[in-house]
Amino acid sequence: MITPTATLLVNCPDRRGLVAAVSGFLYRLGANILHADQHQDNEIGLFFMRVEWSLEGVELTGDAFSEAFAREVAEPYGMQWRVEFSTRRPRMGIFVSRYDHCLLDLLHRQRSGELLCEIPVVIGNHDTCKGLAEYYGAEFHCIPVTPATKSTAEEEQAALLEQHGVDLVVLARYMQVLSPVLLGRFPGRVINVHHSFLPAFVGAKPYHAAFERGVKLIGATSHYVTEELDEGPIIEQDVVRISHRDQLQDLIQKGRDLERVVLSRAVRWHLQHRILLYGRKTVVFD
């Protein structure tokens, strides 16, 4: 049986005593700290911290913990913070177009227990992936998107996400740009995979651009989605070496392997509450 845990994520202006304040508070609760990590951005004077502890024998949880921590630690030190409890499993909604490789990878990793979440719904602007989603037990909804129907389609998508209690939205090679209205409903909770090593080769056909340019490395990038296309805070990236012998289809195939891995890492770290967003950057704790 897995012991339930809690995870605290903190960022605030850097100053003396921050680690002692957090660890001391948890010590007074009788908490056994399992993991702790911290980072300082010396350029802007910010402090970041992630602490995970066992809830075994700890009576102060939920709202009571939040109230006590805010009063005794967070407010005196000017912290932005959140606490997450493993007893609540996040719910993830997936958007997809025609390509199924990233969707299949996420569904398989969730079923195998690697991704600790529920996937109640998959939304596509084509029906290509309907059978795959339903095989893994997720509802599939096909909502076509055209310039004329975009706002109506997004209202329908948002209603489905709300109906299923979705916490995180993952764009698994979803070939549509989300509007600021939809993104505003999930701030910092929409993850995309882009099939290039950003900021190189932004846009719709990066493999074609990379092939024409004759690069020797291609990559994939997973990032949080913002209103600026392909400019969101980067979570994870990886690359593979190519050569003059590789044709365009070789680049696409090698790239798809990277896309699966890079996206699944980013999703797993988000679900494990290992990521802190600040500005255009992320801190990803080990």
Catalytic residues: 230
Establish how many alpha carbons lie within 13 A of residue 267's alpha carbon, considering only the half-sphere containing its beta carbon: 33
Q: Are 63 and 45 in contact (CB under 8 A)?
A: no
Alpha helices by DSSP H, the chain: 18-29, 62-69, 75-77, 101-111, 130-135, 150-163, 180-183, 206-213, 248-271
Partners of residue 29 on adjacent β-strands: none
CA proximity to 51, closest of 16, 77, 87, 20: 20
Nearest-angstrom CA–CA distance, 179 and 9: 29
Task: Look at the chain and count its residues.
Answer: 286
